[in-house]
Amino acid sequence: MKVLSSPVGRSAIAAAAFFVVLVVGALAYTSTGGSARDLLVQELLVNLVIVLGLQVFIGTTGILSFGHLAFAQIAAYGAALVAIPAASKATSLPDLPLGLGDVELGPFGATLVGIAVALLCGAFVGVAVARAGGLAATMITLAVLFVVDQAVKNWTELTRGAGGLSGVPRMTTDTWLWVTALGALLVANLFAETRLGRFAAATRDDEIAAPAIGIDHFWPRWAAWIVSIALVGAAGALRVQLVGSTNPEQYTLDIGVLLLAMLVIGGMRTVTGAFVGTLVITVGNEIFRQLGDDHGIVRLPELFLGAVLLAVMLIRPGGLLGDTDVRAWLSRLSRRRIPAAAASERAGDDGATPPRAPGDLAATGISVRFGGFRALEDAAVRVRPGEIVGLIGPNGAGKTTMFNVVTGIVPEQAGEVTLGEHDLTDDPPHRIARAGLARTFQNLRLFPTLPVRENVALAALSARRYRPQAPAVDVDVLLESSGLTGVAERPAATLDYGNQRRLELARAAALAPAYLLLDEPTSGMSDQESRAMVDHVRATARLVGAGVLVIDHDLAFITRICDHVVVLAEGRVLAEGTPAEVRADPAVAEAYLGRRESRAFLQSDRPL
């Protein structure tokens, strides 16, 4: 069981399991037929390595790429150009630039050169893709596919154009391909366990929540891109040496869509899904090709592909297997061994951390305009270490905008945000989170496909990495105190509303922040639940030693929990003070209730 608790061990076991399936399947299949069957196995392995490459980038980051095949092509041509014997290059490619005509490398060297060239080109493109994200990134990859296609077709001195290169010395056995397939299975499984791999999955699940726990979009995406290009490049460089030739027809958008279909049909978010999808589509494609040949129907495989893809998208858009994954299952298996009592015991020993913020959290003179609308006008709010401050006001008063300004999501036109001596005014969201501000969102922003535990663990991981001065937060203790231990392995999206709220709070707390910013933690809760939330928020803040700035419409909740209350109305600070002072303020009552109602209210003893 010790093997299972290490990421390398888990990944190795998962990779080995897939590999055994492949070997047994291939042996059973080829033992009964001729050399044509060997070719199909070869094709399957090449596809598998490419699809695993796609999984590492597309699956973990959620950014669709059409450009990966271009890098397989670059690697293939790179490997071919250094592998073709000099004598044959002298006649077939007389005008080779860069002195390539005299280079002659063995299969190993040629493969490495191919991968290296792909990585070199890919590193630059990766910067653009990782920075852009979303649809723009997809368009960049599409552009790359066409640029490389055009270059290969027209830079004839190097590529011989549409005819392609031939005469590449052929590998006599598939050994290297098998080794590469095993390596790719291991790399893809392992990447999902690495810090950057896990962070990449967080950016995929919620682009705004990830920076809110200190994750920068760029590096996880770029790392995923580089690893995936290396895998895809290896497949390209090997294929050209197995087949002996290459041409632009092997790397068109159509082929790209075929490979993409393999990725999504099984379930793109997991290696298991990519593996199963590759098997299903490669085998199905072959069956329908033969059927088509037998009955004289062209393009039958294409019909099969379109129909399967359409059916899966309509019926199971997450793929046939969804998020079922061998490695994730192994990981759960290893955790089940930890006695359940451990966490609660650990929670028992005091738990409280003294407030250790580097100073006050202060937003001063904040002004924000959306077009002609003044969301905030010279507004200010201050929280002292360990203090709980409420931010209240009628709808549209600018409360959430204030949060968004403080956490760097909305730019302010004037004012500044400081944490102790540290000026956060112009920092991007992930830096603000790393400085020690963690927030929740009005509309809940969890990482929906990730397990509850992983939602919290990601923030703890980010804290360990980017907030070394902060106290270590025990994920299990947080889950236990939030009442989430029982559902820790379920995807966050499957929780009920109250649990989702508590999970979001636990995730923010796991960052061990100096201040927690909570946007309507009791929204949608019953009176009873909201009363329980008072203690829960207090306990959680005390556990990590954080001060709290909280927005809520439930004024009973605010009165119970807050040391100090700031009232916003129409973008300005209307009043502030203790809950009792604020309640007695005629201006506040009027803003909430209107002039006539407010007079009666002030004479009564009703809570606001």
- Site residues (vs another protein, CB under 8 A): 62, 64, 128, 131-137, 139-140, 142-144, 146-147, 150-151, 154-155, 208, 253, 257, 260-261, 264, 297-300, 302-303, 305-307, 309-310, 313-314, 317, 400, 404, 409-410, 441-443, 445
Q: Give 36 or 314: the residue with its C-beta nearer to another protein.
A: 314
- State in angstroms the smallest separation of the CB of 159 from another protein: 11
Q: Give 197 or 429: the residue with its C-beta nearer to another protein.
A: 429
CA R_g for the chain: 29
- State in angstroms the smallest separation of the CB of 9 from another protein: 32
Q: Give 302 or 416: the residue with its C-beta nearer to another protein.
A: 302
Match 């990421």 to its residue by tokens.
7
* Count of helices and strands (H, E) across the chain: 28, 10
Instruction: Please state, in angstroms and rounded to a whole number, the distance separating the CA atoms of residues 227 and 235.
Output: 13
The answer to whether 442 and 519 are in contact (CB under 8 A) is yes
Q: Give 194 or 252: the residue with its C-beta nearer to another protein.
A: 252
Q: Give 209 or 537: the residue with its C-beta nearer to another protein.
A: 209
Residues 6+ apart with CB under 8 A from 487: 452, 495, 499
Instruction: Please state, in angstroms and rounded to a whole number, the distance separating the CA atoms of residues 310 and 312.
Output: 6
Q: Give 145 or 558: the residue with its C-beta nearer to another protein.
A: 145
The answer to whether 185 and 19 are in contact (CB under 8 A) is yes
The answer to whether 85 and 247 are in contact (CB under 8 A) is no
Dihedral angle sign, alpha carbons of residues 548, 558, 504, 529:
positive
- State in angstroms the smallest separation of the CB of 158 from another protein: 10
Within 13 A of 516's CA, how many CA atoms are on the CB side?
31
- State in angstroms the smallest separation of the CB of 568 from another protein: 17
Beta strands at 564-569 and 572-577: parallel, antiparallel or unpaired:
antiparallel
Name the token pair of 279: 């098997």
Instruction: Please state, in angstroms and rounded to a whole number, the distance separating the CA atoms of residues 549 and 566.
Output: 10
Instruction: Please state, in angstroms and rounded to a whole number, the distance separating the CA atoms of residues 49 and 521.
Output: 45
Q: Give 245 or 442: the residue with its C-beta nearer to another protein.
A: 442
Three-state DSSP class for residue 31 = coil
Q: Give 107 or 408: the residue with its C-beta nearer to another protein.
A: 408
- State in angstroms the smallest separation of the CB of 368 from another protein: 13
- State in angstroms the smallest separation of the CB of 594 from another protein: 25
- State in angstroms the smallest separation of the CB of 332 from another protein: 26
- State in angstroms the smallest separation of the CB of 241 from another protein: 27
Instruction: Please state, in angstroms and rounded to a whole number, the distance separating the CA atoms of residues 555 and 125.
Output: 52
Among 215, 233, 246, 539, residue whose Cα is nearest residue 388: 539
Beta strands at 373-383 and 422-423: parallel, antiparallel or unpaired:
unpaired
In the DSSP assignment, the letter for residue 251 is G
- State in angstroms the smallest separation of the CB of 55 from another protein: 14
Burial tier of 178 (Cβ tally within 10 Å: 0-12, 13-18, 19+): middle
- State in angstroms the smallest separation of the CB of 413 from another protein: 18
- State in angstroms the smallest separation of the CB of 552 from another protein: 17
Burial tier of 320 (Cβ tally within 10 Å: 0-12, 13-18, 19+): middle
Match 């999504």 to its residue by tokens.
264
- State in angstroms the smallest separation of the CB of 208 from another protein: 6
Q: Give 64 or 589: the residue with its C-beta nearer to another protein.
A: 64
Q: Give 175 or 443: the residue with its C-beta nearer to another protein.
A: 443
Q: Give 99 or 317: the residue with its C-beta nearer to another protein.
A: 317
Three-state DSSP class for residue 171 = coil
Residue 501: count other Cβ atoms within 10 Å of its Cβ. Answer: 25
Question: Kindly report the CA angle at 571 between 570 and 573, in degrees rounded to 5?
Answer: 100
Instruction: Please state, in angstroms and rounded to a whole number, the distance separating the CA atoms of residues 235 and 75.
Output: 8
Element (H, E) at 573: strand 572-577
Q: Give 146 or 329: the residue with its C-beta nearer to another protein.
A: 146
Name the token pair of 379: 């507004």
Q: Give 8 or 136: the residue with its C-beta nearer to another protein.
A: 136
Q: Give 74 or 177: the residue with its C-beta nearer to another protein.
A: 74
In the DSSP assignment, the letter for residue 607 is -
Q: Which amino acid is at 388?
A: I
* Phi/psi at 490 (5° precision): -85, 150
- State in angstroms the smallest separation of the CB of 257 from another protein: 6
- State in angstroms the smallest separation of the CB of 39 from another protein: 23
